[in-house]
Amino acid sequence: MNNAPKKPELRRLRIKLFLFLVIMLIFISAFAGYLFKIELEKKPIIKQKLDSNEIDYIYDFYTDAPPNHRDMAFLGDDDAPIKFVAYLDIASGSSKFFILSILPLLKENYIDKGIIKFYAKQPITNDDLKKHTDKFIYYKSLLCIREIKKEVYFKFYFDLYYNQSIDDISYLLDKHGISAEGYEECMRDRDFEAAAIDISETENFGIIGINPKFYIGIDGTDFTAIEGIPKFNRFNRTIKDYEILIGR
């Protein structure tokens, strides 16, 4: 006895299957659109780039984009071929250890010799921005110093590490010849577009809590990510590998 579906029944099954697939596709598209809307709300810089049709930026951001260091202050020679980007939380003891114990070795062996440029970034999140946490205040303060008097940025930056507070900042402003009025105006009124980029970057790179993270590399090539505070030898080996890569 032949139990195969008759042609009309088979046709109805195919129609039902087709309708089911169409409904699922609509549902998935709607859900993906909802998730993308949430993503744009969390990452306003991506929305801005999407509106201006800067697709290359969006592609790089969600693949293997290097840390953003354009227009940032740095330690080292302008022509240094290797970039060293450090994500350090001023309130973190491990970050302070890096500044006091490892950075001097990097400076002696690589920065002063014109081999690496050193950049320091304060990671912040959307939550820091909304709640105006100490992390965001440090971040905002450093951006103001960079904007007002870029040449003293790192001296001010290291002083913040040693003092661990900006509650009474008048001493540091006076020490580095920075106008208190200009600083206060910047802290009060400045609309920091850079915050959107740095917040997105902090999230995209998975920089969580106060654990430091470092990126070492050359523009146009993959960066090596190092988490936590390894011994100097770990940094040393990575930098040596890039020196070999560029034929030094």
Give the mean pLDDT of 149-167: 82
Q: How many CA atoms lie within 13 A of 45 on its CB side?
A: 19
What pLDDT was estimated at residue 89? 86
**Secondary structure letter of residue 219 according to DSSP:** T
d(CA 144, CA 190): 8
- Least confident interval from 84-93, 175-184, 214-223: 214-223
pLDDT at 60 over 90: no
Share of the chain above pLDDT 70, in %: 74
Choice between 49 and 243, residue whose per-residue pLDDT is larger: 243
8 A C-beta contact, residue 115 and residue 238: no
Scan for tokens 């201006």, then name that residue.
52
pLDDT tens per residue, range 64-84: 466 777 778 899 999 999 999
Q: Domain segments of the chain: what residues? A: 7-61, 82-245
pLDDT at 205 over 70: yes
pLDDT tens per residue, range 122-142: 888 888 888 888 888 888 888
pLDDT at 248 over 80: no
The two three-digit tokens of residue 206, written as one number: 């998975």
pLDDT at 34 over 80: no
pLDDT at 107 over 90: yes
CATH superfamily of 82-245: Glutaredoxin (3.40.30.10)
- Share the mean pLDDT of the chain: 78
Say which residues have a Cβ less than 8 Å from residue 238's Cβ, sequence separation at least 6: 216, 224, 226
Give the mean pLDDT of 221-246: 88
pLDDT at 8 over 80: no
- Least confident interval from 10-19, 44-53, 166-175, 183-192: 44-53
What pLDDT was estimated at residue 116? 94
Give the mean pLDDT of 91-99: 86
What pLDDT was estimated at residue 32? 54
8 A C-beta contact, residue 213 and residue 205: yes
8 A C-beta contact, residue 95 and residue 89: yes
Choice between 224 and 20, residue whose per-residue pLDDT is larger: 224
